[in-house]
Amino acid sequence: MTKRTELLKEIRAFAKEAGLEIDETEGGNHTKVVVGGRRTVVARHSEIPELTAKAIRKQLGMTEARKGKK
């Protein structure tokens, strides 16, 4: 399990490092996140299942960016 706050910190750091604009909007039960035109939602739970966190990273292009750095 990944803590929600840690995942959001990771997303913010990724956006800053990549020089991308980030927009966070609080919805009913989710936080809507847009990073450089890619969007996803993060559930408002204290912990996010690891597979869900992996999918969120993929939707925002964080996995492609990591592959490019290797």
Comparing 65 with 46, the larger pLDDT belongs to 46
pLDDT value, residue 65: 66
Whether residue 69 is predicted with pLDDT greater than 80 in this model: the reply is no
**Annotation: CATH topology of 2-69:** Metal Transport, Frataxin; Chain A (3.30.920)
Going from N- to C-terminal start, the domains of the chain cover: 2-69
Q: Name the token pair of 44.
A: 């408002």
65-70: which pairs have CB atoms within 8 A and are 24 or more residues apart? 65/14, 65/18
Residue with tokens 């927009």: 23
pLDDT value, residue 63: 87
What's the pTM value of the predicted model, to 2 decimals? 0.88
Q: Name the token pair of 58.
A: 């993929």
User: What pLDDT, in 10s, does the model give residues 17-64?
Assistant: 999 999 999 999 999 999 999 999 999 999 999 999 999 999 999 987
pLDDT value, residue 68: 62
Q: How far is CA 55 from CA 5, 7, 50, 58, in A?
A: 16, 12, 9, 5
